[in-house]
Structure 1
Amino acid sequence: MTQTIFEAKGLSKQYGESFALQDVYMTIGVGDIYGFVGENGAGKTTLMKIIGGLVHPTHGEISLFEKKDTKAVHEARRKVGFLIERPALYPNLNAKQNLTFYCRAFGIKDKSRIAEVLQAVSLADAGSKLTSEYSLGMKQRLGLAIALLNDPKFLVLDEPINGLDPSGIVEVRKILEKLSKEQGVTILISSHILSELQLLATQYGFIHKGRLIKEASAEELLHTAETKICIRTADPAATLQILKSELQLETITISEAGEIQIPKESTNLEELMSFFLQRGIHIEGINLSAPNLENYYMDLIAGGNE
């Protein structure tokens, strides 16, 4: 039985003097939901396009379903479903007509797949409604239906939930969870909504400026990411300086939301509160943050991977 769905070895993609990917080693195992994390321009979409054969690497190699030579990889792509960037839909056709077109394009003769994938993405009742009238969430789900037409064993999804409202995000997550658990589909998914990705992924790859800086399991993330004490004050910058100078807490940071964040292991909460009372520093709020994907990624970058 195949144990590895996708593997990259020394993968690079260069445009002129710039690298979109540089010396990437990456492994996705059977049954993984692999969360691909990185900022805009980090190289996520480039790697997904290489998997799909839309972009050719400058250096390195990939394998799909443990097939390495060019012809075998091309054949293996028949078992992969792709949703990269926005789905290409015909606005003057309804869902069934769009899917009929893609069945012909993909050489899929079993038209029963159309009803099956519409049911899978909760669009079975869309009827004759033209896709030009669809909400963004409906368009994304129809794009996912197109990716599922060939009954793939591996799904490659580039930002499938970005721009969706909360209910749309939950719908897509439930669909992907069901595909993974009930059909054993392996999934590579990128998203900027890291809190949502954390609810779904079993493995992670963290990419920064074209380099894959770490791979980790969800369990490893839970055990190694720091729990932080989060403090809200009227003047976080001044409070930060006081804490650094008087308590020598050099690992303190201020989040984008303006909260002072202190690793829980570096101080005692009771002593910290006593310190604030003695200095007359008013605390507007204090809480513990559970380990989360956003903090983990930002700590990776801050730890010397800039």
Structure 2
Amino acid sequence: MTPQIVKQSIKNSEVLLGKSLAELTAWVQEQDQPAYRGKQLYQWLYQKGVRSLSDISVFPKKWRHEMAGYPLGRSTIHYRSVAPDATRKYLLRLADGLIIEAVGIPTAKRLTVCVSSQVGCPMDCDFCATGKGGFTRNLKAHEIIDQVLTVQEDFEQRVSNVVFMGMGEPMANIDHVIAAVKSLNQDVGIGARSLTVSTVGIPGKIHQLAQHKLQIVLAVSLHASNQALREQLIPSAKKYPLNNLLDECRDYVEVTGRRVTFEYVLLSRVNDLPENARELSQCLKGFQTHVNLIPYNPISEVDYQRPQKNRIREFTNILEAANITVSVRYSRGLEADAACGQLRASKV
């Protein structure tokens, strides 16, 4: 391939990350290379996390030199911070210069990556830092996969879990998110049930996701026990009534056989009252579900407060009394502004 063709490929944003083994094999053959180099490229791309074709030592030296500038689809680390709990926040610079966030969350047994699906977010949830910065564009599948490979490389540890809970609304970018999910499962080798896609809810999108019958975890950001309160916290809820959202979730359970996880950020004296817990239990009655209660993580733009532990305990007890499976999730990375709801494409 001539330098001119390489430059044209870069201009057209044709990258190799995100392609399957069959697609990579076809690609190397187009470059007049033998088919077996497709498997070599596949292994170096997804298992070794190579950043340049020139670094693939099993390729002929002449071809490596010719293809050195061909885009693989990798980002660069613009900024990195580490919280006291070892959570690492990354600002990643994309090929067009835009910045996104990814978070690596280690525990004794696993490494979880919280990935972004958009640059910014159009949903404008009142308690979330990401939406305060507005929306720029959707991420492509390779830009999502790259986040996982970057964190894996930095930790020098295999990623075991991925959650689509970073910047953006995954269902507003559903085609690229589904492509990324399939590649993370089939190419990177992360189990489908270790992949979680979160959504605040967009009409019809959960139904669209259900048709793929993926064995992933669906997490729906509810954050309110009634429609009026949900509209106050989530402006987009005005176009998607709570009852309609829950009906679509029930259909998802029926089609996929997978339960739905509901995320509920607890805001002191806003949605954490006993009557909110009772309302929520009625909403989820007879539902195959799990509720994650998330004590609020503060941001500078609003003055919401995290509830006291006794209020959290009371809310939990009411749900458990209604036979709803519930857990309290204290987000990691709070001190590095890497916790749930704190992500933004800046260092501050």
Relative contact order: is structure 1 or structure 2 higher (C-alpha 8 Å, sep ≥ 6)?
A: 1
TM-score, structure 1 normalization = 0.28
| Greater share of strand | 1
Larger Rg: 1
Q: So what's the TM-score if we normalise by structure 2?
A: 0.26
